[in-house]
Amino acid sequence: MTALPATSDDGAFWDLWLTPYYLPCVTAADELGTFAAISGEALGLDELAARIDVDPRALGVHLALLASLGMVERRDGRWRATAMARTWMHPEAEGYYGPLLGGFRAEQPIHAAMVKSLRPGNGKTGESGHVSFVEEWERGELPVEQARFIAAFMHSHSVANAKAVARLPELAGIPSLLDVGGGSGVFAIEAARTHPGITATIMEIAAMCVAAQDYIARAGMEERVLTTAVDMFREEWPSGHNVHFFSNIFHDWSEKTNQLLAEKSFAALPPGGRIMLHEILMNDDGTGPLIAAAFSMLMLLGTRGRQYSLAELRGILEAAGFVDVEAQRTGGGYYSLVTARKP
Ligand SMILES: C[S@@+](CC[C@H](N)C(=O)[O-])C[C@H]1O[C@@H](n2cnc3c(N)ncnc32)[C@H](O)[C@@H]1O
């Protein structure tokens, strides 16, 4: 049996993992009156949010998934129900599908979490009732048992993509990489395994460092994969690393928090140092693609963030002082790597 993987594409698992979010997004829109509000006229995001009394930021995430599912469309910045949704999802339509789709929604906890996520004022908090660790992350403190659970979850979430990223030419020739919020260490381990010249340091909450050390030991990478317990919000970042790698970090936080993270990274990098953001990117008009939109919904329910477009990330990085912002698909599932340089 060969030890080499045949592919880093784990797309089929992502397709499967995110399916529970599709139907409740449509039943939540039905309950809130979204389709009826935009069947007769197209409305801007804020107008629609005011019309159905929901939080605009959360509504943007919901509309992206509805657009990916063929229920709404966005033209010139305004949203309208598609002919499909006008015909079958308008409550007064002869062929109204609401009773069928929503028939078992009382048994669907995700339906309730999605409706809650849209409540005015809730868009910022991520308090939807969905599983979330965001308050512990904000405090920079976790019990070790919880850290072990998150490490196992994130390891299987990220392992295929870590193998794909490690093989990118951008990872070659880096002496020292700081993996900000590196979780189980999966990216640091794969990078160090692939490139014998790299030393990678996982910067994490203290309990996550403990959890990551198990994965580092199992990989036999103790000499070149290190951990450092640093609260990325409150504490000073270590200097001396040529690359700051962030995987699935910006999608956890608001634009404002991400601006702070980009600024802290810029301050700690040497001139010529690079920042790398590993994320699933939204398209520029916020209407998909489907997996990005479904993942963004998961972020809305459990974090303070959402999936961002390249244009949005470029705005944050350039405002912090970075130049040469570029992106490429990594070849692992649905992810992209956004890179930029400190001049
Ligand atoms: C979504 S996980 C990403 C893990 C890993 N980068 C990956 O893609 O598999 C977010 C990570 O950010 C870390 N994190 C959250 N708040 C932090 C803080 N205040 N300081 C340092 N790390 C933090 C969490 O512990 C968690 O491992």
Q: Which residue has tokens 């317990």?
A: 229
Q: Is 180 in the pocket of ligand 1 (CB under 6 A)?
A: no
Which residue has the CA at smallest separation from atom 24 of ligand 1? Answer: 181
Q: Is 332 in the pocket of ligand 1 (CB under 6 A)?
A: no
Of the two residues 8 and 171, the one the predictor is more confident about is: 171
Q: Is 212 in the pocket of ligand 1 (CB under 6 A)?
A: no
Compute the chain's Rg from CA coordinates. Answer: 21
Q: Is 249 in the pocket of ligand 1 (CB under 6 A)?
A: yes
Neighbours of 337 (CB within 10 A): 24
The pLDDT of residue 5 is 61
Of the two residues 35 and 103, the one the predictor is more confident about is: 35
Q: Is 182 in the pocket of ligand 1 (CB under 6 A)?
A: yes
Neighbours of 272 (CB within 10 A): 9
Q: How far is CA 241 from its chain centroid?
A: 24
**pLDDT at residue 1 above 60?**
no
Which residue has the CA at smallest separation from atom 23 of ligand 1? Answer: 181
The pLDDT of residue 120 is 81
For 282-312, how does the pLDDT look when each residue is reduced to its tens digit (9 = 90+)?
999 999 999 999 999 999 999 999 999 999 9
Which residue has the CA at smallest separation from atom 21 of ligand 1? Answer: 204
The values of phi and psi at residue 19, to 5°, are -60, -30
Q: Is 247 in the pocket of ligand 1 (CB under 6 A)?
A: yes
**pLDDT at residue 53 above 70?**
yes
258 C-alpha vs ligand 1 centroid, how far in Å?
13
Q: Is 24 in the pocket of ligand 1 (CB under 6 A)?
A: no
Q: How far apart (Å, rounded) are the C-alpha atoms in residues 27 and 110?
A: 10
Q: How far apart (Å, rounded) are the C-alpha atoms in residues 317 and 323?
A: 8
Vertex 235: Cα angle to 234 and 240 (nearest 5) = 145
Q: How far apart (Å, rounded) are the C-alpha atoms in residues 82 and 225?
A: 51
0.85 cut: is pTM over it? Answer: yes
**pLDDT at residue 46 above 70?**
yes
**Structure token pair of residue 297:** 């919904």
Identical topology for domains 12-117 and 134-341 = no
Q: What percent of the chain has pLDDT over 90?
A: 89
Residue 183: CA count within 13 A, CB half-sphere: 22
Instruction: Spell out the domain ranges in the chain.
Output: 12-117, 134-341
The pLDDT of residue 308 is 98
| Band of pLDDT at residue 6, cut at 50, 70 and 90 | low
**Best of 179, 232, 250 for a ligand 1 pocket test (most atoms within 8 Å of beta carbon):** 232
Q: What is the DSSP letter of 254?
A: -
340 C-alpha vs ligand 1 centroid, how far in Å?
21
Fold of 134-341: Rossmann fold (3.40.50)
For 251-283, how does the pLDDT look when each residue is reduced to its tens digit (9 = 90+)?
999 999 999 999 999 999 999 999 999 999 999
Right CATH number for 12-117 from 1.10.10.10, 1.10.150.20, 3.40.50.150, 3.40.50.300? 1.10.10.10
Neighbours of 197 (CB within 10 A): 11
For 180-217, how does the pLDDT look when each residue is reduced to its tens digit (9 = 90+)?
999 999 999 999 999 999 999 999 999 999 999 999 99
Helix (H, G, I), strand (E, B) or coil at 57: helix
Per the CB < 8 A criterion, the answer to whether 92 and 20 are in contact is no
**Structure token pair of residue 335:** 């992810």
Helix (H, G, I), strand (E, B) or coil at 343: coil
What proportions of the chain, in percent to the nearest 5, are helix, strand and coil?
50, 15, 35
For 12-44, how does the pLDDT look when each residue is reduced to its tens digit (9 = 90+)?
999 999 999 999 999 999 999 999 999 999 999
Per the CB < 8 A criterion, the answer to whether 151 and 184 are in contact is yes
> Using CA of residue 194, residue 331, residue 214, residue 143, what is the dihedral sign?
positive
The values of phi and psi at residue 197, to 5°, are -85, -10
182 C-alpha vs ligand 1 centroid, how far in Å?
6
41 C-alpha vs ligand 1 centroid, how far in Å?
42
- Ligand 1 atom closest to the Cα of residue 139 is 19
Residue 289, preceding peptide bond in cis (omega within 30° of 0): yes
The pLDDT of residue 226 is 98
Which residues, other chains included, contact 138 with Cβ-Cβ below 8 Å and sequence gap of 6+? Answer: 233
C-alpha distances out from residue 184 to 63, 131, 211, 280, Å: 33, 19, 7, 19
Q: Is 181 in the pocket of ligand 1 (CB under 6 A)?
A: yes
Per the CB < 8 A criterion, the answer to whether 271 and 343 are in contact is yes
**pLDDT at residue 108 above 90?**
no
What rounded mean pLDDT belongs to the chain? 94
Q: Is 204 in the pocket of ligand 1 (CB under 6 A)?
A: yes
Which residue has the CA at smallest separation from atom 15 of ligand 1? Answer: 137
Which residue has the CA at smallest separation from atom 27 of ligand 1? Answer: 183
Which residues, other chains included, contact 259 with Cβ-Cβ below 8 Å and sequence gap of 6+? Answer: 316, 319, 320
Kindly state the greatest CA–CA separation across the chain. Answer: 68
Q: Which residue has tokens 């919000």?
A: 233
Q: Is 248 in the pocket of ligand 1 (CB under 6 A)?
A: yes
